[in-house]
Structure 1
Amino acid sequence: MTTRVLFVGEGSSDNGLVPHVESIAARKGLGVSITVPDFGLLRLPTGHSVRDKLRVARKLHGAYDLVVVQRDADRGPAQDRRDEIEEAVCTEWPGLRHVAVVPVRMLEAWLLLDEACLRQVAENPSGRVSLDLPKGAAAERVPDPKQLLKDSLARASEYKGRRLTQFQKRFSQHRLRMLELLDPDGPVTCLPSWQSFVKDLDQAFETLNG
Protein backbone atom coordinates (compact mmCIF):
# COMPACT_ATOMS: atom_id res chain seq x y z
CA MET A 1 0.00 0.00 0.00
CA THR A 2 1.24 3.48 -0.85
CA THR A 3 1.30 6.05 1.94
CA ARG A 4 -0.14 9.38 0.79
CA VAL A 5 1.81 12.34 2.15
CA LEU A 6 1.07 16.05 1.90
CA PHE A 7 4.14 18.29 2.25
CA VAL A 8 3.71 21.90 3.37
CA GLY A 9 6.84 24.06 3.58
CA GLU A 10 7.44 27.76 4.07
CA GLY A 11 8.52 28.26 0.46
CA SER A 12 9.34 26.36 -2.71
CA SER A 13 13.03 25.99 -1.82
CA ASP A 14 11.97 23.90 1.19
CA ASN A 15 10.82 21.22 -1.24
CA GLY A 16 14.33 19.79 -1.09
CA LEU A 17 13.13 18.02 2.06
CA VAL A 18 10.85 15.80 0.00
CA PRO A 19 13.61 13.35 -1.10
CA HIS A 20 14.56 12.93 2.56
CA VAL A 21 10.97 12.07 3.47
CA GLU A 22 10.99 9.51 0.65
CA SER A 23 14.27 7.96 1.79
CA ILE A 24 13.09 7.65 5.40
CA ALA A 25 9.95 5.92 4.16
CA ALA A 26 12.03 3.60 1.97
CA ARG A 27 14.08 2.53 5.00
CA LYS A 28 10.79 1.48 6.58
CA GLY A 29 9.85 -0.48 3.47
CA LEU A 30 7.09 1.96 2.63
CA GLY A 31 6.13 3.35 -0.74
CA VAL A 32 5.04 6.98 -0.57
CA SER A 33 3.26 9.37 -2.87
CA ILE A 34 4.08 12.96 -1.87
CA THR A 35 1.98 15.92 -2.95
CA VAL A 36 3.61 19.35 -2.81
CA PRO A 37 1.06 22.08 -3.60
CA ASP A 38 2.39 25.24 -5.21
CA PHE A 39 0.47 27.73 -3.11
CA GLY A 40 1.86 30.59 -5.16
CA LEU A 41 0.07 29.33 -8.27
CA LEU A 42 -3.23 28.38 -6.66
CA ARG A 43 -6.02 30.82 -7.36
CA LEU A 44 -7.78 30.11 -4.10
CA PRO A 45 -7.36 32.86 -1.49
CA THR A 46 -4.50 31.99 0.84
CA GLY A 47 -2.24 33.61 3.39
CA HIS A 48 1.13 32.46 4.59
CA SER A 49 0.19 30.72 7.83
CA VAL A 50 0.10 26.96 8.24
CA ARG A 51 -3.65 27.15 8.81
CA ASP A 52 -4.16 29.08 5.56
CA LYS A 53 -2.15 26.56 3.56
CA LEU A 54 -3.90 23.56 5.08
CA ARG A 55 -7.28 25.15 4.43
CA VAL A 56 -6.44 25.66 0.77
CA ALA A 57 -4.93 22.19 0.38
CA ARG A 58 -8.03 20.58 1.87
CA LYS A 59 -10.25 22.40 -0.61
CA LEU A 60 -8.41 20.55 -3.38
CA HIS A 61 -10.04 17.34 -2.06
CA GLY A 62 -6.85 15.30 -1.82
CA ALA A 63 -6.83 12.28 0.49
CA TYR A 64 -3.76 11.86 2.71
CA ASP A 65 -2.47 9.60 5.45
CA LEU A 66 0.07 12.11 6.75
CA VAL A 67 0.98 15.78 6.44
CA VAL A 68 4.57 16.91 6.94
CA VAL A 69 4.77 20.60 7.86
CA GLN A 70 8.05 22.53 7.86
CA ARG A 71 8.24 25.77 9.83
CA ASP A 72 11.42 27.48 11.01
CA ALA A 73 11.71 28.20 14.73
CA ASP A 74 13.17 31.64 13.88
CA ARG A 75 13.94 33.40 17.15
CA GLY A 76 11.36 31.66 19.31
CA PRO A 77 11.30 28.28 21.06
CA ALA A 78 10.91 25.31 18.72
CA GLN A 79 8.05 24.03 20.86
CA ASP A 80 6.02 27.15 20.01
CA ARG A 81 6.18 26.18 16.32
CA ARG A 82 5.27 22.58 17.13
CA ASP A 83 2.25 23.79 19.07
CA GLU A 84 1.30 26.14 16.21
CA ILE A 85 1.44 23.29 13.70
CA GLU A 86 -0.52 20.91 15.91
CA GLU A 87 -3.23 23.50 16.48
CA ALA A 88 -3.42 24.29 12.75
CA VAL A 89 -3.79 20.62 11.77
CA CYS A 90 -6.37 19.92 14.50
CA THR A 91 -8.38 22.96 13.42
CA GLU A 92 -8.18 22.70 9.63
CA TRP A 93 -7.81 18.94 9.11
CA PRO A 94 -8.90 17.08 12.26
CA GLY A 95 -7.90 13.44 12.29
CA LEU A 96 -4.98 13.82 9.87
CA ARG A 97 -1.69 12.58 11.34
CA HIS A 98 1.10 15.14 11.14
CA VAL A 99 4.85 15.52 11.56
CA ALA A 100 6.27 18.94 12.43
CA VAL A 101 9.69 19.78 10.99
CA VAL A 102 11.15 22.68 12.97
CA PRO A 103 14.76 23.66 12.17
CA VAL A 104 16.50 25.93 14.70
CA ARG A 105 16.66 28.82 13.97
CA MET A 106 16.22 28.39 10.25
CA LEU A 107 16.52 25.49 7.85
CA GLU A 108 19.71 27.09 6.52
CA ALA A 109 21.43 26.05 9.76
CA TRP A 110 21.25 22.43 8.55
CA LEU A 111 23.07 23.40 5.35
CA LEU A 112 25.96 25.24 6.98
CA LEU A 113 27.56 22.02 8.23
CA ASP A 114 28.31 20.42 4.86
CA GLU A 115 31.23 22.38 3.44
CA ALA A 116 31.84 20.02 0.52
CA CYS A 117 28.21 20.32 -0.59
CA LEU A 118 28.35 24.10 -0.24
CA ARG A 119 31.45 24.33 -2.43
CA GLN A 120 29.85 22.05 -5.02
CA VAL A 121 26.71 24.15 -5.23
CA ALA A 122 28.89 27.28 -5.35
CA GLU A 123 30.26 25.89 -8.64
CA ASN A 124 33.79 25.75 -7.26
CA PRO A 125 34.20 22.30 -5.62
CA SER A 126 38.01 22.50 -5.56
CA GLY A 127 38.09 25.98 -4.03
CA ARG A 128 40.33 26.58 -1.03
CA VAL A 129 39.15 29.98 0.17
CA SER A 130 38.46 29.87 3.92
CA LEU A 131 34.76 29.82 4.80
CA ASP A 132 34.96 29.62 8.60
CA LEU A 133 31.66 27.75 8.87
CA PRO A 134 30.19 26.80 12.26
CA LYS A 135 30.81 23.31 13.58
CA GLY A 136 28.27 20.97 15.14
CA ALA A 137 25.57 22.43 17.36
CA ALA A 138 27.02 25.93 16.89
CA ALA A 139 25.11 26.07 13.59
CA GLU A 140 21.86 26.41 15.54
CA ARG A 141 23.25 29.40 17.45
CA VAL A 142 24.08 31.49 14.38
CA PRO A 143 21.91 34.66 14.59
CA ASP A 144 21.10 34.71 10.85
CA PRO A 145 21.98 31.38 9.19
CA LYS A 146 20.28 32.41 5.95
CA GLN A 147 22.56 35.41 5.50
CA LEU A 148 25.61 33.39 6.49
CA LEU A 149 24.72 30.75 3.89
CA LYS A 150 24.29 33.44 1.22
CA ASP A 151 27.63 35.01 2.10
CA SER A 152 29.41 31.64 2.28
CA LEU A 153 28.13 30.55 -1.12
CA ALA A 154 29.30 33.84 -2.63
CA ARG A 155 32.73 33.52 -0.99
CA ALA A 156 33.09 29.87 -2.01
CA SER A 157 32.23 30.69 -5.64
CA GLU A 158 35.12 33.18 -5.83
CA TYR A 159 33.15 35.03 -8.49
CA LYS A 160 33.59 38.79 -8.89
CA GLY A 161 31.62 41.65 -10.32
CA ARG A 162 28.70 40.94 -12.61
CA ARG A 163 29.20 37.19 -12.47
CA LEU A 164 28.91 37.27 -8.67
CA THR A 165 25.79 39.42 -8.90
CA GLN A 166 24.13 36.92 -11.25
CA PHE A 167 25.19 34.03 -9.03
CA GLN A 168 23.70 35.64 -5.92
CA LYS A 169 20.36 36.12 -7.67
CA ARG A 170 20.00 32.33 -7.78
CA PHE A 171 20.18 31.85 -4.03
CA SER A 172 16.80 30.13 -3.73
CA GLN A 173 17.89 27.58 -6.36
CA HIS A 174 21.20 27.03 -4.57
CA ARG A 175 19.40 26.53 -1.27
CA LEU A 176 17.04 23.99 -2.81
CA ARG A 177 19.94 22.10 -4.38
CA MET A 178 21.90 22.04 -1.13
CA LEU A 179 18.89 20.66 0.69
CA GLU A 180 18.43 17.94 -1.92
CA LEU A 181 22.12 17.01 -1.67
CA LEU A 182 22.24 17.12 2.14
CA ASP A 183 23.81 13.92 3.47
CA PRO A 184 21.23 12.51 5.95
CA ASP A 185 24.02 10.54 7.63
CA GLY A 186 26.52 13.41 7.62
CA PRO A 187 27.27 16.29 10.02
CA VAL A 188 23.61 17.34 10.22
CA THR A 189 22.92 14.28 12.40
CA CYS A 190 24.44 16.10 15.38
CA LEU A 191 21.65 18.69 15.41
CA PRO A 192 18.68 17.98 17.73
CA SER A 193 16.22 19.51 15.24
CA TRP A 194 17.33 17.09 12.50
CA GLN A 195 17.21 14.20 14.95
CA SER A 196 13.64 15.13 15.86
CA PHE A 197 12.64 15.30 12.20
CA VAL A 198 13.96 11.79 11.51
CA LYS A 199 12.61 10.29 14.74
CA ASP A 200 9.13 11.78 14.38
CA LEU A 201 8.87 10.70 10.75
CA ASP A 202 10.12 7.21 11.62
CA GLN A 203 7.46 6.87 14.28
CA ALA A 204 4.71 8.16 12.01
CA PHE A 205 5.63 5.68 9.29
CA GLU A 206 5.84 2.84 11.78
CA THR A 207 2.33 3.64 13.02
CA LEU A 208 0.95 3.91 9.49
CA ASN A 209 2.65 0.65 8.53
CA GLY A 210 1.24 -1.11 11.57
Structure 2
Amino acid sequence: MTARVLFIGEGSSDNGLVPHVESLAARKGLRVSVTVPDFGLLRLPTGHSVPEKLQAARRLGGDYDLVVVQRDADRGPAQDRRNEVEAAVSAEWPGLRHVAVIPVRMLEAWLLLDETCLRQVAENPRGRVSLDLPKGVAAEKIADPKQLLKDSLARASEYKGRRLAQFQKRFSQHRLRMLELLDPEGPVACLPSWQSFVTDLDAAFKSLGGG
Protein backbone atom coordinates (compact mmCIF):
# COMPACT_ATOMS: atom_id res chain seq x y z
CA MET A 1 0.00 0.00 0.00
CA THR A 2 1.11 3.53 -0.79
CA ALA A 3 -0.34 6.22 1.46
CA ARG A 4 -1.49 9.33 -0.39
CA VAL A 5 -0.42 12.50 1.39
CA LEU A 6 -1.47 16.07 0.60
CA PHE A 7 0.98 18.76 1.73
CA ILE A 8 -0.12 22.36 2.24
CA GLY A 9 2.38 24.98 3.37
CA GLU A 10 2.18 28.72 3.79
CA GLY A 11 4.34 29.29 0.71
CA SER A 12 6.31 27.41 -1.91
CA SER A 13 9.55 27.58 0.12
CA ASP A 14 7.83 25.49 2.80
CA ASN A 15 7.88 22.57 0.35
CA GLY A 16 11.30 21.70 1.76
CA LEU A 17 9.37 19.89 4.49
CA VAL A 18 8.22 17.27 1.99
CA PRO A 19 11.49 15.24 2.05
CA HIS A 20 11.18 15.09 5.84
CA VAL A 21 7.62 13.79 5.55
CA GLU A 22 8.85 11.13 3.13
CA SER A 23 11.81 10.12 5.31
CA LEU A 24 9.63 9.84 8.42
CA ALA A 25 7.26 7.59 6.48
CA ALA A 26 10.17 5.43 5.32
CA ARG A 27 11.30 5.13 8.93
CA LYS A 28 7.90 3.63 9.70
CA GLY A 29 8.19 1.27 6.75
CA LEU A 30 5.43 3.07 4.87
CA ARG A 31 5.44 4.03 1.21
CA VAL A 32 3.97 7.46 0.55
CA SER A 33 3.11 9.58 -2.44
CA VAL A 34 3.16 13.27 -1.49
CA THR A 35 1.22 15.78 -3.57
CA VAL A 36 2.00 19.49 -3.34
CA PRO A 37 -0.73 21.37 -5.22
CA ASP A 38 0.26 24.27 -7.44
CA PHE A 39 -2.33 26.77 -6.29
CA GLY A 40 -1.03 29.17 -8.92
CA LEU A 41 -2.87 27.06 -11.50
CA LEU A 42 -6.10 28.34 -9.97
CA ARG A 43 -4.79 31.93 -9.83
CA LEU A 44 -5.44 32.10 -6.12
CA PRO A 45 -3.93 35.06 -4.24
CA THR A 46 -0.96 34.46 -1.98
CA GLY A 47 -1.62 34.47 1.73
CA HIS A 48 -4.99 32.75 1.45
CA SER A 49 -6.33 30.86 4.45
CA VAL A 50 -6.15 27.16 5.28
CA PRO A 51 -9.85 26.64 4.42
CA GLU A 52 -9.31 28.32 1.04
CA LYS A 53 -6.28 26.14 0.31
CA LEU A 54 -8.22 23.01 1.21
CA GLN A 55 -11.08 24.10 -1.03
CA ALA A 56 -8.62 24.70 -3.86
CA ALA A 57 -6.98 21.31 -3.35
CA ARG A 58 -10.34 19.61 -3.61
CA ARG A 59 -11.06 21.48 -6.85
CA LEU A 60 -7.76 20.22 -8.23
CA GLY A 61 -8.98 16.69 -7.52
CA GLY A 62 -7.37 13.66 -5.93
CA ASP A 63 -8.04 11.31 -3.03
CA TYR A 64 -5.84 11.40 0.06
CA ASP A 65 -5.27 9.42 3.23
CA LEU A 66 -3.62 12.30 5.09
CA VAL A 67 -3.15 16.03 4.81
CA VAL A 68 -0.13 17.73 6.37
CA VAL A 69 -0.71 21.44 6.96
CA GLN A 70 2.16 23.77 7.90
CA ARG A 71 1.08 26.96 9.69
CA ASP A 72 3.43 29.24 11.62
CA ALA A 73 2.38 30.06 15.17
CA ASP A 74 3.48 33.68 14.58
CA ARG A 75 2.82 35.62 17.78
CA GLY A 76 -0.01 33.48 19.12
CA PRO A 77 -0.13 30.19 21.02
CA ALA A 78 0.68 27.13 18.92
CA GLN A 79 -2.53 25.47 20.12
CA ASP A 80 -4.56 28.22 18.47
CA ARG A 81 -3.05 27.25 15.12
CA ARG A 82 -3.67 23.58 15.81
CA ASN A 83 -7.31 24.37 16.51
CA GLU A 84 -7.48 26.47 13.35
CA VAL A 85 -6.16 23.64 11.19
CA GLU A 86 -8.43 21.06 12.84
CA ALA A 87 -11.50 23.25 12.30
CA ALA A 88 -10.56 23.92 8.68
CA VAL A 89 -10.08 20.24 7.84
CA SER A 90 -13.28 19.25 9.65
CA ALA A 91 -15.25 21.87 7.71
CA GLU A 92 -13.68 21.53 4.28
CA TRP A 93 -12.64 17.86 4.10
CA PRO A 94 -14.59 15.89 6.74
CA GLY A 95 -13.06 12.55 7.64
CA LEU A 96 -9.61 13.30 6.23
CA ARG A 97 -6.84 12.56 8.73
CA HIS A 98 -4.55 15.53 9.30
CA VAL A 99 -1.29 16.59 10.91
CA ALA A 100 -0.69 20.23 11.79
CA VAL A 101 2.94 21.40 11.61
CA ILE A 102 3.27 24.49 13.81
CA PRO A 103 6.73 26.06 14.05
CA VAL A 104 7.14 28.66 16.82
CA ARG A 105 7.10 31.58 15.91
CA MET A 106 8.03 30.96 12.30
CA LEU A 107 9.57 28.08 10.42
CA GLU A 108 12.78 30.12 10.07
CA ALA A 109 13.41 29.51 13.78
CA TRP A 110 14.13 25.86 12.92
CA LEU A 111 16.71 26.91 10.34
CA LEU A 112 18.59 29.31 12.61
CA LEU A 113 19.94 26.43 14.68
CA ASP A 114 21.99 24.75 11.96
CA GLU A 115 25.02 26.96 11.42
CA THR A 116 26.81 24.44 9.18
CA CYS A 117 23.84 24.27 6.85
CA LEU A 118 23.45 28.05 6.89
CA ARG A 119 27.06 28.60 5.86
CA GLN A 120 26.75 26.00 3.11
CA VAL A 121 23.64 27.62 1.65
CA ALA A 122 25.35 31.01 1.99
CA GLU A 123 27.94 29.69 -0.51
CA ASN A 124 30.76 30.13 1.99
CA PRO A 125 30.99 26.86 3.96
CA ARG A 126 34.47 27.63 5.30
CA GLY A 127 33.61 31.15 6.40
CA ARG A 128 34.59 32.19 9.88
CA VAL A 129 32.70 35.45 10.32
CA SER A 130 30.79 35.40 13.62
CA LEU A 131 27.04 34.84 13.21
CA ASP A 132 25.95 34.83 16.87
CA LEU A 133 23.02 32.52 16.16
CA PRO A 134 20.55 31.57 18.91
CA LYS A 135 20.93 28.23 20.66
CA GLY A 136 18.22 25.70 21.50
CA VAL A 137 14.79 26.98 22.46
CA ALA A 138 16.06 30.58 22.33
CA ALA A 139 15.45 30.38 18.56
CA GLU A 140 11.71 30.25 19.20
CA LYS A 141 11.86 33.48 21.20
CA ILE A 142 13.35 35.61 18.43
CA ALA A 143 10.88 38.35 17.50
CA ASP A 144 11.52 38.10 13.74
CA PRO A 145 13.38 34.88 12.86
CA LYS A 146 12.83 35.43 9.13
CA GLN A 147 14.72 38.72 9.18
CA LEU A 148 17.46 37.24 11.35
CA LEU A 149 17.85 34.35 8.89
CA LYS A 150 18.07 36.79 5.96
CA ASP A 151 20.68 38.86 7.78
CA SER A 152 22.65 35.79 8.88
CA LEU A 153 22.79 34.36 5.37
CA ALA A 154 24.02 37.70 4.05
CA ARG A 155 26.66 37.95 6.76
CA ALA A 156 27.79 34.35 6.26
CA SER A 157 28.14 34.85 2.52
CA GLU A 158 30.61 37.73 3.05
CA TYR A 159 29.46 39.14 -0.27
CA LYS A 160 29.54 42.88 -0.86
CA GLY A 161 27.83 45.39 -3.12
CA ARG A 162 26.03 44.12 -6.22
CA ARG A 163 26.92 40.50 -5.55
CA LEU A 164 25.33 40.71 -2.09
CA ALA A 165 22.24 42.35 -3.54
CA GLN A 166 21.82 39.54 -6.08
CA PHE A 167 22.38 36.94 -3.37
CA GLN A 168 19.71 38.48 -1.13
CA LYS A 169 17.14 38.36 -3.94
CA ARG A 170 17.32 34.57 -3.78
CA PHE A 171 16.23 34.31 -0.14
CA SER A 172 13.20 32.11 -0.89
CA GLN A 173 15.45 29.64 -2.72
CA HIS A 174 17.96 29.69 0.12
CA ARG A 175 15.22 29.08 2.67
CA LEU A 176 13.88 26.14 0.67
CA ARG A 177 17.34 24.63 0.34
CA MET A 178 18.06 25.03 4.05
CA LEU A 179 14.81 23.29 4.90
CA GLU A 180 15.61 20.40 2.55
CA LEU A 181 19.08 20.03 4.10
CA LEU A 182 17.90 20.38 7.69
CA ASP A 183 19.26 17.52 9.82
CA PRO A 184 16.20 16.10 11.63
CA GLU A 185 18.45 14.68 14.33
CA GLY A 186 20.57 17.82 14.61
CA PRO A 187 20.02 20.94 16.76
CA VAL A 188 16.38 21.29 15.65
CA ALA A 189 15.55 18.03 17.47
CA CYS A 190 15.65 19.89 20.81
CA LEU A 191 12.69 22.11 19.90
CA PRO A 192 9.24 21.05 21.18
CA SER A 193 7.61 22.25 17.95
CA TRP A 194 9.84 19.94 15.86
CA GLN A 195 9.29 17.09 18.30
CA SER A 196 5.51 17.56 17.95
CA PHE A 197 5.83 17.46 14.17
CA VAL A 198 7.74 14.17 14.30
CA THR A 199 5.51 12.60 16.98
CA ASP A 200 2.26 13.57 15.28
CA LEU A 201 3.44 12.40 11.87
CA ASP A 202 4.71 9.11 13.30
CA ALA A 203 1.32 8.51 14.90
CA ALA A 204 -0.49 9.30 11.65
CA PHE A 205 1.73 6.97 9.65
CA LYS A 206 1.25 4.22 12.21
CA SER A 207 -2.50 4.54 11.85
CA LEU A 208 -2.07 4.21 8.08
CA GLY A 209 -0.29 0.89 8.46
CA GLY A 210 3.28 1.91 9.21
CA GLY A 211 5.37 0.05 11.78
The alignment's TM-score, normalised by the length of structure 2, stands at 0.97
**Structure 1 residues not aligned, in runs of 5+:** none
Equivalents in 1 of 2:176, 2:124: separation in Å?
17
For 1:133, the equivalent position in structure 2 comes to 133
1:169 has 2:169 as partner: yes
Change (3 A) 1:56 1:47: farther
State the one-letter code of the partner of 1:94. P
Change (3 A) 1:27 1:129: same
Structure 1 residues 188-199: aligned runs within 5 Å: 188-199=188-199
1:68 counterpart SS class: strand
Change (3 A) 1:45 1:175: closer
Equivalents in 1 of 2:18, 2:44: separation in Å?
24
Contact 2:6 2:66 in 1 (8 A): yes
Cα deviation for residue 38 of structure 1 reads 1.4
Among all aligned residue pairs of Structure 1 and Structure 2, give the percentage whose two residues are the same amino acid.
85
Contact 1:13 1:175 in 2 (8 A): yes
Contact 2:24 2:198 in 1 (8 A): yes
Cα deviation for residue 41 of structure 1 reads 2.9
Structure 1 residues 108-123: aligned runs within 5 Å: 108-123=108-123
Structure 1 residues 22-171: aligned runs within 5 Å: 22-43=22-43, 48-171=48-171
Contact 2:10 2:47 in 1 (8 A): no
Equivalents in 2 of 1:17, 1:140: separation in Å?
18
Contact 1:5 1:34 in 2 (8 A): yes
Q: How many residues align?
A: 210
**Structure 2 residues not aligned, in runs of 5+:** none
2:62 counterpart SS class: coil
| CA RMSD in angstroms, aligned pairs only | 1.2
Cα deviation for residue 46 of structure 1 reads 8.4
